[in-house]
C-alpha cells in the first residue's frame, strides 16, 4: 500500500510540473495610445501651375516658355510671366486624437494641423488685369478624418503605422481668407512614444483676392511624432 501511494503521488507531481512548463508564452501587448503630437518639415511642390493660378489670374490660357528668360507666357504671346519666388520649404505642427485608442490593428483618428503655404511672387509683363501677384504669410488650418493602421511593439520595440486622411481647411494670408480641401497619406516607424513619418498631401486651395483663383500644393512632409 505504501509503495502504491508513493507511485501515485509521484505521477501527480510530475503531471502538475509538466502542465506548468507546457503553458504557452504570453507576449506582452503594447498599451493603447490616444493622442499623437507632431512637428512637421514640409517641402511643397506645385502642380499645374500654368492653369492654376496663372490662367485664373490672367483670364486666358497660359503655356510654359522654355529657353526664355521668363517662365510662362499667354498663348497669344502678348503677356510674359516671371515666377520670382515659389518658396518650397515650410514648417507645421499637428495633433491626432484616436477616440478608441490605437495599438495593433486599425482605428479612426481625427487630425488637426497648421502648416505654412508657399510664398508665391509672380510678375506679369503685358496686357492683363494684374502687374504682380504676391502670396505672403499664408497658413493653412486643416482638420480631417482618417483611417490609421498600426503594428506597435511593447516597450521600446520597433513598430510601424500607416494612414490615409481626407478633410478641409481654412487659409489665412495677406490676400485674405480662403478655403481648401485635401487628401493625405503616409506612414512611418516608432519606438516607444517616439516616431518618424513621411507623408504626401494633395491640397486644392482657393482664394478670392485679387481675383478668384485656385492652386494646387503637394507638400512632402517629414514628421516627428510623440504619442501617449
Residues 104, 151 contacting (CB under 8 angstroms) = yes
Q: Which tens digit of pLDDT belongs to each residue from 27-81?
A: 678 889 999 999 999 999 999 999 999 999 999 999 999 999 999 999 999 999 9
Q: In the chain, pLDDT over 90 holds for what percent of residues?
A: 84
Q: How far apart are CA 79 and CA 62, in angstroms?
A: 9
Q: How far apart are CA 4 and CA 1, in angstroms?
A: 5
Q: How far apart are CA 81 and CA 184, in angstroms?
A: 31
Task: Please give the pLDDT value at position 24.
Answer: 57
Q: Per-residue confidence at 26, pLDDT binned at 50, 70, 90?
A: low
Task: Please give the pLDDT value at position 16.
Answer: 46
Task: Please give the pLDDT value at position 57.
Answer: 97
Element spanning 56, H or E: helix 56-58
Angle at 112 between CA 109 and CA 117, to 5 degrees: 135
Residues 149, 160 contacting (CB under 8 angstroms) = no
Q: In the chain, pLDDT over 70 holds for what percent of residues?
A: 88
Residues in the chain, total: 228
For residue 210, pLDDT beyond 80? yes
Q: Which tens digit of pLDDT belongs to each residue from 216-226?
A: 999 999 999 99
Q: Per-residue confidence at 12, pLDDT binned at 50, 70, 90?
A: very low
> CA gyration radius for the chain?
29
Average pLDDT, whole number, for the chain? 91
Parse the chain into domains and list their residue ranges. Answer: 32-227
Task: Please give the pLDDT value at position 154.
Answer: 86
Q: Which tens digit of pLDDT belongs to each residue from 120-175?
A: 999 999 999 999 999 999 999 999 999 999 999 888 999 999 999 999 999 999 99
Phi, psi of 31 (to 5 degrees): -70, 155
Q: How far apart are CA 44 and CA 31, in angstroms?
A: 35
For residue 9, pLDDT beyond 60? no
Tell me which of 111 and 4 has the higher pLDDT. 111
Task: Please give the pLDDT value at position 5.
Answer: 46
Stretch 74-97: mean pLDDT, rounded?
97
Stretch 89-116: mean pLDDT, rounded?
97
Q: CATH for 32-227?
A: 2.40.160
What's the pTM? 0.85
Amino acid at each position: 500500500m505504501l509503495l502504491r501511494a508513493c507511485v501515485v503521488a509521484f505521477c501527480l507531481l510530475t503531471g502538475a510540473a509538466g502542465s506548468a512548463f507546457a503553458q504557452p508564452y504570453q507576449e506582452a501587448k503594447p498599451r493603447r495610445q490616444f493622442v499623437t503630437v507632431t512637428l512637421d518639415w514640409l517641402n511643397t511642390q506645385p502642380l499645374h501651375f500654368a492653369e492654376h493660378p496663372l490662367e485664373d489670374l490672367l483670364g486666358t490660357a497660359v503655356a510654359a516658355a522654355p529657353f526664355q528668360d521668363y517662365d510662362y507666357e499667354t498663348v497669344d504671346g502678348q503677356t510674359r510671366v516671371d515666377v520670382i519666388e515659389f518658396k518650397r520649404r515650410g514648417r507645421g505642427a499637428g495633433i491626432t486624437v484616436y477616440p478608441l485608442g490605437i495599438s495593433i490593428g486599425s482605428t479612426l483618428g481625427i487630425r488637426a494641423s497648421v502648416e505654412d503655404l508657399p510664398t508665391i511672387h509672380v510678375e506679369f509683363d503685358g496686357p492683363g488685369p494684374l502687374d504682380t501677384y504676391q502670396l505672403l504669410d499664408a497658413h493653412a488650418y486643416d482638420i480631417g478624418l482618417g483611417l490609421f493602421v498600426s503594428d506597435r511593439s511593447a516597450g521600446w520595440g520597433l513598430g510601424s503605422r500607416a494612414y490615409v486622411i481626407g478633410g478641409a481647411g481654412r487659409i489665412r494670408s495677406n490676400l485674405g481668407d480662403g478655403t481648401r480641401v485635401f487628401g493625405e497619406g503616409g506612414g512611418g516607424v516608432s519606438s516607444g512614444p517616439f516616431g518618424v513619418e513621411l507623408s504626401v498631401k494633395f491640397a486644392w486651395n482657393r482664394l478670392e483676392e485679387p481675383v478668384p483663383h485656385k492652386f494646387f500644393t503637394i507638400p512632402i512632409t517629414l514628421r516627428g511624432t510623440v504619442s501617449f
